Amino acid sequence: MSAQTSPVPGSDAPEPNGVVEPTGVVRCGGEPAGRRGPLDHAGADWAGLRVLVTGLGVSGFAAADALLERGALVRAVDSGSSEALTERCRILEVLGADLVLGEDAATALADDHDRLLQGIDLVVTSPGWRPTTPLFVAADAWGIPVWGEVELAWRMRPEGAAPWVTITGTNGKTTTVQMLHSIFTAAGLRSRAVGNVGTPIMEAVLDPEPYDVLAVELSSFQLHWQNSVSPVASVCLNLAPDHIDWHGSYEEYVAAKGRVYANTHVACVYNVEDAATEKLVEDADVVEGCRAVGFTLGTPGLSMVGVVEDVLADRAFVEERRTAAAELGTVADLQRGSITPPRHVVANALAAAALARAVGVEPVAVRDGLRVFTPEAHRIAEVARSGDITWIDDSKATNPHAATASLQAFDPVVWIAGGLLKGADVDDLVRDNAHRLRGAVLLGRDRARLAEALARHAPEVPVVDVEQTDTGAMTRIVAEAAALARPGDVVLLAPAAASMDMFRNYEVRGEEFAAAVHAHLGH
């Protein structure tokens, strides 16, 4: 691991000089200068390409590893520290990467961009790095393109690579991509759920055993840094304010989400109940012949999938769609345990079904895939039922839009909420669901904003403010919720906020809630 940054071997590119101040938002760049041809196919010449990889998390490490394997000259920078990072760095050092780490990286990222960019042809960034990062502004000023790891993975696909089906949205992405993977598997296709769901896309793209299709979850961060992906089918499930601090404005966030539809071949799937998603389809630059296909919780019109009584119905991918529909399963196929499938779960299933049908999957495989699908933990999961009171863990509801969907599934509710609101407004959330609330128990750093909204829009609802933030806080929270609940109620953890003020992540928050519930009930 180098403490000093050395020029990348073979460098003859002009060296940047002086300090470049951030002046705007950097977007995904074009081709590196001086290459013999575009880097966009299996025969592309990556050898000797001088690449700076920013961030060595799971996706950054996968990008650096793939570049080194193809003969690129890689410099990687990461100012973090962890056992996992140390192990990744050991591997990259053996492979020949030039590493800039720890305090040295922090100093260079703060005010010595020239040192990092010396001799570099291309910057590949991990998703979390903001587009106003001064390093990227400096690269942009010197004509060095900045790509995300999604862009790199697309360009590194081998000949005959698996087609991509891409999914984004403010909420429901992971559930939908996993539903889609389950459907593909039921259809006998070798599939993998990749991207923001956890598995790096690069890992699947370069797998020696080819896949038939990839279900690709893309966050707004990832979408900002790509411009070449051309999926078979794509969807933006819904839109609501989120990650404004990263994008700088809601308009920029929406624009990033809209990139999921660019270059789509067969079908751009949109949410009929969310007009903004349809507008993104209308504005998208797609491949000639691509169709717009809506999904709706109501009766589907032409070129839509929807619900007729209890049946999931397809009027988009059948020849006689003016007079007939194909049955893709029933709402009952989505039920897990005693919980009736919430509206947003049905909507996710319809979106997954539409994407699968766009790839050519038969209706029976859609049904079979939805029947066997098991959602991940902390997504409207029943923790316990005792004394006719049901305890539900939806710790994954980390923003107001997700919490709204969760609250709308139950009535009446003792609501456990709070954490890091990330600047999100909660007035609509509270006002629209006030009539469902038996009571509320508030936790976390931004609980005062929820308390103020409850006082404005639900003054009759009893509210318990839990100031405690230590390891015993959840025990107190559960006890207070139990005191408010009545037979027939649901006690719902749907925080509408991120967890990092009190917990390592939303999973730990949900686990501590479940443990406290079982302890309270004597299980």
Which residue numbers belong to the known binding site?
A: 169-175
CA 94 – CA 72 distance, rounded (Å) = 14
Residue 33: closest CA among 136, 139, 113, 145: 145
Report the DSSP beta bridge partners of residue 439.
414
If one counts every other C-beta atom within 10 angstroms of the C-beta of residue 163, the result is 17
CA 294 – CA 375 distance, rounded (Å) = 24
If 0-12 CB within 10 Å is exposed, 13-18 middle and 19+ buried, where does residue 190 land?
middle
Is beta strand 122-125 parallel, antiparallel or unpaired with respect to 146-148?
parallel
CA 240 – CA 408 distance, rounded (Å) = 16
Contact 207, 379 (CB under 8 A): no
Q: Which 8-state DSSP code applies to residue 89?
A: H
Q: Quick one: tokens of 315?
A: 């009027």
- Which residues fall in the annotated binding site for ATP? 169-175
CA 361 – CA 354 distance, rounded (Å) = 10
Q: Is the peptide bond before 363 cis (omega within 30 degrees of 0)?
A: no
If 0-12 CB within 10 Å is exposed, 13-18 middle and 19+ buried, where does residue 311 land?
middle
Q: Quick one: tokens of 312?
A: 């999931």
Of the chain, the end-to-end C-alpha distance in Å amounts to 51
Residue 171: closest CA among 215, 237, 264: 237
Residue 290: closest CA among 231, 239, 349: 231
CA 17 – CA 37 distance, rounded (Å) = 28
CA 56 – CA 62 distance, rounded (Å) = 8
CA dihedral 500, 220, 175, 58 (to 10 degrees): -70
Structural Rg of the chain based on CA atoms = 24
Residue 99: closest CA among 85, 112, 110: 85
Matching residue, tokens 């539900």 = 392
Strand, coil or helix: what is 246? helix
Q: Quick one: tokens of 342?
A: 């919430």
Report the DSSP beta bridge partners of residue 164.
214
Would the CA dihedral through 389, 393, 395, 398 be positive or negative? negative
Strand, coil or helix: what is 3? coil
